[in-house]
Amino acid sequence: MSLSPTARVTLGLGFTQIVGWGTTYLMPSVLGRHIQDDLNVSSELVFAGITVMFGVGALCSPRIGRIVDRTGARWLMTAGSLVYALALAALAMSQGPISYLACWAVLGVASSLALSTPSSIAIVQVAGPRARRAIAMLTIIGGLASTVFWPLTGVLDSAIGWRQTLFAYAALHLLACAPIHLLVLPRRPPVHPPSPGATAAASGMAPAELSRAYLLLSISLSFGAFVFTGAQVHMIEILRGLGHAPAAALLLASLIGPAQISIRLFEMLFGHRYSIMRSAVLGSAMLPVGIGLALIAGDGFAVALVFIVAYGISNGLKAVQRATLPLALFGRAQFGAYMGRLSLPQGIVSAVAPPAMAAVMSQLGTPVALWVTFAAAMISLGAMILLARLGRMIR
C-alpha cells in the first residue's frame, strides 16, 4: 500500500529531524569530554558551540522562512543536508577553539536550512488542512532523537573515536538526509483549498490586531523557550539541588521524554476535538504550576514527579504549537515568513538561556534559578492568555 504525500513527507522529515538534532544539539553531551581533552579547551567552550549554532540559525531564519514560502523547502533542505555534511566533516578535523566554534557557526546555517523551522513550513505546505495532526506526528518522531543518538553516539565513540564518529555523521547527512529531502519534498508548494477556520481567523483581524497577536505569540514562545532550553540541559543538577540523590534525579529527568511524547500523541489523536488556543493556554499554565510546586516542596519525590510531568507536558505542547499557532493566527499564505520571524527571538533566547541558567545556578543556587524560570513561565502564560482573548474564535 502506497503512502500518502503527507505521510511520506512526515516520515522522511521525521528521520532527518532525528539525525539533525542527534548529530548537533545532542552530540556534545556524549562526545564533549573527549573533544575537550583532545582540543585542550574548557567544557564551557565545548558547549558554547550549541550557543553559536542557535544564534547563527536564529539570524538566518527570517530570510529562510520567506524563501520557503515562495519556492518550497525541497532545495533549501537538500542544501542544508550538504552544509551539515561539510560542517561536521570540518568539525571532525578541528584543531582548536577558533576552528571548533567556526564549524558550529556553519552548523547554525545548516540548521536554519534543514532543521525545525523549514521542516514545519514544509509539513504545513504539504498537509494543508491536516497540518495540525501532521505537525504533532513530526514532533513525536523528532522526540526520539535522544533515545536514538545518545546510545548510538556512545557506541561509535567507544569503537572509532569522536572524530571518526563525526565523519560518519557527515556521511549520514550526505548519503541519507540529502536524498530524502530531494525525494520526498515536492518541487513546488502544493496548492490546497483554503481552510475555512484558519483563513477566516487570519483575514478577520485588522492589521493592528495581527501585529499585537504576533507580539504576544513571540513573547509567549520566547519566554517559554528560555525555560525549556535553559532548564532542560541542567535538569539533573536542578533536581539534585532540590535534594534528590543522583540516581533519583536521573530517573526523574528521564521521564521528561515520555511525558512530551505522550502529550504529543494525545494531541495528534484528539487535537481536532478542541481549540488550539485552549490547548495553548493549558500547556502554558502547566509550566508555572509545575515549577511552583517544585519551589514549595520539590525535595519530595512525588512533588518532583508532578513537576517533571508538568514540565514535559508543557514542553511537548509548545513544540506542536510553535507551528500550529502561527498557522491558525496568520494563515498559510505567509506562514513561512511568520515562522522565520518568530524563530529569530526564540533562537536568540535558546542560545543565551543555557549559559545564563548555569551562571545563576553556580552563583545563586538552584532555588533562585527556579524563581527565574517561574517568572519567565508566568510571563509566557500571561502573554498566551492575552493572545487567547484576542483570537478567541480560532479553532
Q: Give pLDDT tens digits for 134-173.
A: 888 888 888 788 778 888 998 999 999 999 999 999 999 9
45: region left, alpha or beta (phi > 0 left; psi from -120 to 50 alpha): alpha
CA 340 to chain centre: 14
Closest CA to 119 of 100, 141, 101, 138: 138
pLDDT band of 30, cuts 50, 70, 90: confident
Residue 199: the pLDDT is 44
The tens digit of pLDDT for each residue in 96-132 reads 999 999 999 999 999 999 988 899 889 988 887 787 7
Answer whether 215's CB lies under 8 Å from 339's CB: no
Residue 75: the pLDDT is 93
Reported as type and span, the H/E element at residue 158 is helix 145-172
Q: Report the C-alpha gap between 30 and 20 in whole angstroms.
A: 16
Q: Residue 226 has which C-alpha cell? A: 528560555
Q: What is the largest CA-CA distance in the chain?
A: 60
Residue 228: the pLDDT is 86
Residue 200, pLDDT > 70, answer no
Answer whether 112's CB lies under 8 Å from 346's CB: no
Answer whether 114's CB lies under 8 Å from 81's CB: yes
Q: Report the C-alpha gap between 229 and 208 in whole angstroms.
A: 31
DSSP string across 301-351: HHHHHHHHHHHHHHHHHHHHHHHHHHHHHH-STTHHHHHHHHHHHHHHHHH
The tens digit of pLDDT for each residue in 337-395 reads 888 888 889 889 988 888 888 888 888 988 999 999 999 999 999 999 999 888 665 55
Q: What is the mean pLDDT of residues 210-234?
A: 88
Q: Report the C-alpha gap between 10 and 155 in whole angstroms.
A: 28
Residue 393: the pLDDT is 55
137 CB-near residues (< 8 Å, 6+ apart): 10, 14, 268
pLDDT band of 197, cuts 50, 70, 90: very low
Residue 201, pLDDT > 60, answer no
Residue 191: the pLDDT is 64
Q: Among the residues of 233-300, which ranges form H helices?
A: 235-241, 246-253, 256-270, 276-297
The tens digit of pLDDT for each residue in 44-75 reads 888 889 889 989 998 998 889 888 888 888 99
Q: What value does the CA radius of gyration of the chain take, rounded to a whole number of Å?
A: 20
Q: What is the mean pLDDT of residues 258-262?
A: 85
Q: Report the C-alpha gap between 31 and 17 in whole angstroms.
A: 20
Give percent above pLDDT 90 in the chain: 41
Answer whether 161's CB lies under 8 Å from 34's CB: yes
